[in-house]
């Protein structure tokens, strides 16, 4: 039997709480899953966070699954801190990336996993009886597109401009814009504008304002007073800001 244990994030806007992670590890722990940049909070792990995690895991045999599908969408000049950067993490890590997220083809559902040879051998045993393989034409399409690094090296600036546009559009509202350091998501605290729960508020927002957002409580067992928005489309971003401020 496999048992998953949830480790709450630090209340300082969902930063990783490495002390809680360390306390949650037992002799029965086999795998730790992390995600940076994080969906839905848009927070990122810093180098300090990663080094602290390395110190926690070094004396253990715990494996690490590091979900890094938004690795090319980190903002304000900060570098992406991959588990592959630190030897004590890289030796035990499966690093998951997404061609779909990176190359704007999420519908193709193609990604990659990097790990030490011994770990990939075990990973392929599972993959063989899961999806087996990806269709050939899309693999050729991605290989051709990736021939130019410009297709992904400019993503940070590309999405940061969209993030900034979204934040500017809501800057004069009573909504509290929470930090967005990576991914293409923006979380917004609604507590100053409504006494409704986040799910009820998002339903009202869709019906009355014509703007769709997702209640953050859909992702967290502890509840939330925030909603989750995506700013990938600049036209949609402008329309949302105009309707909210109308």
**Where does 190-232 show beta strands of DSSP type E?**
214-215, 226-230
Find the domain containing 228 and state its range.
Answer: 154-245
- Residue 109 has a pLDDT of 86
> Residues 123, 80: one domain?
yes
Looking at the DSSP bridge assignments, the partners of residue 112 are 97
Is the pLDDT at 238 greater than 80, yes or no? no
Rounded to a whole number of angstroms, the CA Rg of the chain reads 20
* Calpha distance 150→154 (Å, rounded): 6
> Residues 145, 169: one domain?
no
Token pair 């546009």 is at which residue?
A: 165
Query: Is 1 a domain residue?
Result: no
What is the CATH classification number for the domain harbouring 172? 3.90.1150.10
Is the pLDDT at 26 greater than 90, yes or no? yes
- Residue 150 has a pLDDT of 86
> Residues 111, 158: one domain?
no
> Residues 81, 203: one domain?
no
Query: Is 7 a domain residue?
Result: no
Taking Cα atoms as reference points, which of 179, 205, 175, 159 lies closest to residue 41?
179
What is the CATH classification number for the domain harbouring 42? 3.40.640.10
* Residues contacting residue 7 through CB under 8 Å, at least 6 positions apart: 17, 20, 21, 24
> Residues 131, 212: one domain?
no
Looking at the DSSP bridge assignments, the partners of residue 97 are 112
141 or 244, greater pLDDT:
141
Domain boundary among 150, 183, 209: 150
Q: How many domains does the chain have?
A: 2
Query: Is 131 a domain residue?
Result: yes
Under a CB-based contact definition with an 8 Å cutoff, are residues 165 and 238 in contact? yes
> Residues 61, 128: one domain?
yes
> Residues 94, 208: one domain?
no
Residue 130 DSSP class: T
Domain boundary among 125, 150, 175: 150
Instruction: With cut-offs at 50, 70 and 90, classify the pLDDT of residue 11.
Output: very low
Query: Is 239 a domain residue?
Result: yes
> Residues 25, 66: one domain?
yes
Single pTM value for the model: 0.89
Query: Is 116 a domain residue?
Result: yes
Of the ranges 138-142, 214-218, 229-233, which one carries the lowest mean pLDDT score? 229-233
> Residues 83, 126: one domain?
yes
Q: To 10 degrees, the CA torsion angle through 76, 78, 80, 82?
A: -150
Is the pLDDT at 105 greater than 70, yes or no? yes
Q: What is the largest CA-CA distance in the chain?
A: 58
Token pair 């991959």 is at which residue?
A: 82
> Residues 52, 135: one domain?
yes
Q: Which sign does the torsion angle of CA 80, 84, 85, 86 carry?
A: positive
Of the ranges 66-80, 149-163, 208-222, which one carries the lowest mean pLDDT score? 208-222
> Residues 51, 167: one domain?
no
* Calpha distance 41→36 (Å, rounded): 10
Query: Is 2 a domain residue?
Result: no
Domain boundary among 135, 150, 165: 150
Query: Is 10 a domain residue?
Result: no
Query: Is 237 a domain residue?
Result: yes
> Residues 25, 143: one domain?
yes
């Amino acid at each position: 039997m496999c048992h998953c244990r949830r480790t709450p994030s630090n209340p300082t806007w969902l930063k990783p709480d490495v002390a809680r992670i360390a306390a949650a590890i037992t002799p029965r722990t086999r795998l730790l899953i992390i995600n940076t940049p994080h969906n839905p909070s848009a927070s990122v792990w810093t180098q300090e966070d990663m080094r602290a995690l390395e110190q926690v895991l070094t004396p253990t045999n715990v494996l690490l699954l590091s979900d890094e599908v938004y690795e090319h969408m980190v903002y304000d000049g900060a570098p992406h801190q991959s588990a592959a950067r630190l030897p004590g993490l890289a030796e035990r890590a499966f690093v998951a990336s997404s061609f779909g997220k990176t190359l704007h083809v999420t519908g193709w559902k193609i990604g990659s996993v990097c790990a030490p040879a011994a770990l990939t051998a075990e990973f392929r045993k599972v993959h063989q009886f899961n999806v087996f393989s990806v269709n050939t034409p899309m693999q050729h399409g991605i290989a051709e597109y990736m021939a130019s690094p410009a297709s992904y090296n400019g993503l940070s600036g590309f999405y940061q401009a969209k993030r900034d546009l979204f934040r500017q559009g809501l800057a004069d509202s009573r909504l509290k814009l929470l930090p967005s350091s990576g991914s293409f998501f923006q979380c917004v605290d609604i507590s100053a504008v409504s006494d409704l729960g986040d799910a009820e508020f998002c339903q009202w927002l869709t019906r009355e304002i014509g703007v769709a957002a997702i209640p953050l409580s859909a992702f967290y067992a502890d509840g939330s007073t925030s909603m989750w928005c995506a700013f990938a489309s600049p036209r949609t971003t402008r329309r949302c800001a105009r309707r909210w401020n109308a």
